[in-house]
Chain A
Amino acid sequence: MTEFLQLLFQGVSLGSTYALVALGFAVVYRSSGVINFAQGAMLLLGAYAVSWLAVDVGLSFALAVLAATVMLALAGAALHGLVLRRVVGQPTFVLVMITIGVGIAVTHGVEAAFGPDRRLLGDPWGAAAFEVGGVTINTVKVWGIAVTAAALGAYFAFDRYTRWGLAMQATAADEEATLSVGVPVRRVHACTWALAGALATLGGLFLAGFPGAPQPALGDAALRAFPAIVLGGLGSPVGAVVGGLLIGVVEVLTSGYAPDSLGTNFYAVAPYVAMIAILLVRPYGLFGARPVERV
C-alpha cells in the first residue's frame, strides 16, 4: 500500500508539472489555433535560465526564478512579434512547422551554449525529504505541487476576473469581431505567448528538480504532455490541466506496475497509445468540439 501511495505522490508531482505545460499549450492554441511545438524548448530555456541565474550569476533562488520568468515571458512575446506575426493567415501546417523549427533551433542552441552535461539547478531544496507514514516526500516536489496550484489559481482568476483575461477569451472566440470592438488583438496575442513562456519557466524549473537536473533532454517532457492536451481537448484549459494530472499519474503508475512483456520504458508510450485509442473513438478529444467549416 505504501508503495502505491509513494508512486501516487510521484505521479501527482509529475502531473502538476505536466498540467503547467499543458496549460501553456492550451492558452496558445485557444487564442491562435497553433500547437506550440516549441513549448518543450521553452521549458528547457526556462530551467536553464533559472539555473544560470541562480548558479552562475549568483542571484538568490527566488529572484532567479522571478527574473527567469520575466525573461521567458519576453522571449515568448518576441517569438510572436518577430516570427509568428508575419505568417498570420497561413495554413496551420506552416505555423506548426515554424514552431517546430524554432523549437529545434532553441533546444540545440541551449545545448551548444551550456554543453550536454547535467547542471545544478541552484534550488535551496536539493534532495531534502521527510517521511509520512512510510512514504518519502521530497521537499522540491511539494513546492512543485504548491506552486502549480498557485499558478493555476492565478491564471483562472486572471481569465475570469480581469479585462485582459476577457480580451483573451474574446480573441479566442472570434478574432475579427474582437478587433472591430477596439481590443488591441496583437497585444493580446503577444500577451498569450508571454504567458506561455512564463508557464514554461515554472514547469521547466520543477521538471529539473531532484532527482532530475537541467539537461538538454528536458524539453522532451513537453512531447509527453501532448496526449494530455489531446485527451482534454485542444481548446480547453481545464481539460488541459485535468489531462496533465492524469497523464502524470498514469505515467508513474505504469512505470511501477507495467509488466516486462510490454518492453522497457513502456510508460513513455502508454499515454500515446491511450491517446490514439481515444482519438479513434472521439476524433476531437474527450472534451473537444468539431470545428464548423464554411465550404
Chain B
Amino acid sequence: MRARLVLLAVVLVMLVLPFQFGTSALTTATFVVIAAIGATGLNVLTGYAGQISLGHAFFLAAGAYTGAKLGEDLGWSAALWIPAAGVVAGVCGALVGPIALRLSGLYLAIVTLGLVFIGQHVFFNAESLTGGPQGRTFPPVVIGPFDFSAGQVLRLGGLQIDSNGLYYYLALALLAGATAFAWNLRRTRTGRAMVAVREREIAASVMGVDVRRVKIAAFTASAFMAGVSGALYASYLSFAQPGEWSLLLSIQFVAAVIVGGMGTVAGPLLGSAVVFALPTLLKNLPFLPEEAAGGVSVSDLSSIAYGLLIVAFLVLQPRGLVGLVNQPKEAHS
C-alpha cells in the first residue's frame, strides 16, 4: 500500500512539474524523460535478459532518421512516424538478435561496439538521409491540430502549455507506456525466461526455455523503445548530426541503467535523471570558471563525472539507486 502511495505521489509530482519549472529546467526534464524511454528498453535487454549491449545509440539513430524521413521529408503526422520509428528500430533489433545467439559476454559487447561504429560510418556517408557531418533538421511533433513546434502554445482552460511542456507530457505518456510494458513483462513467462537466460543460459535451455526466441524478443523490445526515444529526442533537438549517435551516447544509457538499478522498474527513470541532467547541473555549479576564460569545459566535466559515477556505483552499490532505497527494507527481511 505504501508503494502505491509513493507511486501516486511521484506521478502527481511529474504531472505538475512543468508548471513549476522555468524553460531551462523544463528542457532538461524533458530530455530526461525522453531518455528514460530508451533506458527502459535497455533495461529489458541488459537488466532482464543479461545481454551486454553497447549498441543502443544505433537503435536510437534508426528511430531518429526514420522519424526524419517520414515526418519531415514525407510530411507524415507524428501519430504515424513515432510508432514507425519504433518499428524500424525494432526490426533492426530483431536482425541483431540472432548475433547474440552465437556470441556471448565480451564478444557480444565488442560486436555491438562494432554496430555503433559501422552505423556511424553509414550515417556520416548517407548525406541525403542524414545531412552528412553537417547534420540535418528533424520534424517537430505534429498530431492533427496539435503542433509542438517552438513558439506554439496550447491553451487548455486557464492553463498555457508551451512546446516544451507539450513534449514533456508526450514523453511522459510514452514513458508510462514503456514502464507498464516492462513491469508487466517481468511477471510473464517471457520475462521470467529472460531472467533465467541471464542467470544460467545453458541451464535455462536445458529446462526448455527457447533461448533463441527470448534473446530476439529482448533485442526487439529494447530496440523498439530506443527507436521511439531516439525519434522524440531528435525531434525535440530539432537539429542533429550523425556524430550524436556515438559510443558515448550508448555508454550514457548503460550508465543510466546501472546507476538507476539494473532490472528494476524505477531504475531507468532514476538513472536517466542523474545521467542526463548532469551537464546542466554541472553548468550551474557556482565554482565553475567562466566559459570565456577557457577553463575546464562543461562537457569534459560531465564526462569525467559519468565515468566516476559508473565506477562508484559498480564498486560501492551495484544495485544502483533503487538498491539504496530498498536497503532498509532488506535489512529487516
Contacts and interface: CB of A to CB of B under 8 A. Distances in A.
Interface of A: 35, 83, 86-87, 90, 92-94, 96-98, 100-109, 111-112, 115, 223, 226-227, 230, 234, 263-266, 268-269, 272-273, 275-276, 279-280, 283-285, 293, 295
Nearest to A283: B102
A272 B54 CA distance: 14
B146 interface: no
Interface in B93-114: 99, 102-103, 105-107, 109-111, 113-114
Contacts of B315: 83, 86-87, 98
B310 interface: yes
Contacts of B105: 92-93
A226 B110 contact: yes
Given A97-B310, A98-B314, A283-B103, A109 B122 contact: no
B197 interface: no
Interface of B is mostly: helix
Interface string B231-255: 0000000000000000110010011
Contact of B303 (A104, A272, A275): A104
Contacts of A227: 114
Contact of A263 (B122, B294, B301): B122
Nearest to B294: A115
Contact of A295 (B125, B206, B247, B304): B206
B79 interface: no
Given A93-B52, A96-B106, A104 B122 contact: no
A54 B166 CA distance: 56
B113 A97 contact: no
B307 A103 contact: yes
Contact of A279 (B111, B247, B307): B111
Contacts of A86: 315
16 contacts: A35-B109, A87-B315, A96-B109, A97-B314, A101-B311, A104-B310, A105-B308, A109-B300, A112-B296, A234-B106, A263-B125, A276-B114, A279-B103, A279-B111, A280-B99, A295-B202
B106 A266 contact: no
A203 B331 CA distance: 49
B300 A279 contact: no
Contact of A230 (B110, B202, B255): B110
B102 A83 contact: no
Interface of B: 46, 50, 52, 99, 102-103, 105-107, 109-111, 113-114, 117-118, 121-122, 124-125, 200, 202-203, 206, 247-248, 251, 254-255, 258, 294, 296-297, 300-301, 303-304, 306-311, 314-315, 318
A90 B297 CA distance: 34
Contacts, number: 127
Given A103-B307, A226-B113, A87 B106 contact: no
A274 B105 CA distance: 19
A273 B122 contact: no
Given A112-B304, A295-B206, A100 B310 contact: yes
Given A263-B121, A283-B102, A295-B202, A272 B311 contact: no
B107 A283 contact: yes
Contacts of A103: 307
A265 B121 contact: yes
Given A98-B310, A101-B307, A101-B308, A108 B300 contact: yes
A250 to B, nearest CB: 15
B137 to A, nearest CB: 23
Contact of A265 (B124, B294, B307, B309): B124
A57 to B, nearest CB: 22
Given A279-B103, A283-B103, A83 B311 contact: yes
Given A87-B315, A96-B109, A106 B114 contact: no
- Which of A87, A94, A104, A295 counts the most chain B CB atoms within 10 A? A104
Contact of A108 (B109, B254, B304): B304
A22 to B, nearest CB: 13
B42 to A, nearest CB: 13
Contact of A104 (B113, B251, B297): B251
Contacts of B124: 263-265
A26 to B, nearest CB: 13
A230 B103 CA distance: 12
B202 A293 contact: yes
B7 to A, nearest CB: 29
Contacts of A266: 121
A207 B247 CA distance: 22
Given A97-B310, A104-B310, A269-B114, 9 more contacts: A86-B315, A92-B106, A104-B248, A106-B307, A115-B294, A263-B122, A280-B99, A280-B102, A283-B107
A108 B305 CA distance: 9
A100 B125 contact: no
Contacts of A93: 46, 50, 52, 105
A101 B306 contact: yes
* A230, A280, A283 pick with most chain B CB within 10 angstroms: A283
Contact of B107 (A107, A111, A284): A284
Contact of A269 (B117, B203, B206): B117
Contacts of A264: 124-125
Nearest to B102: A283
Q: Pick the 7 closest A-B CB pairs, nearest first.
A: A105-B307, A101-B310, A104-B307, A263-B125, A272-B114, A108-B303, A101-B311
Nearest to B254: A97
Nearest to A82: B315
A86 B309 CA distance: 16
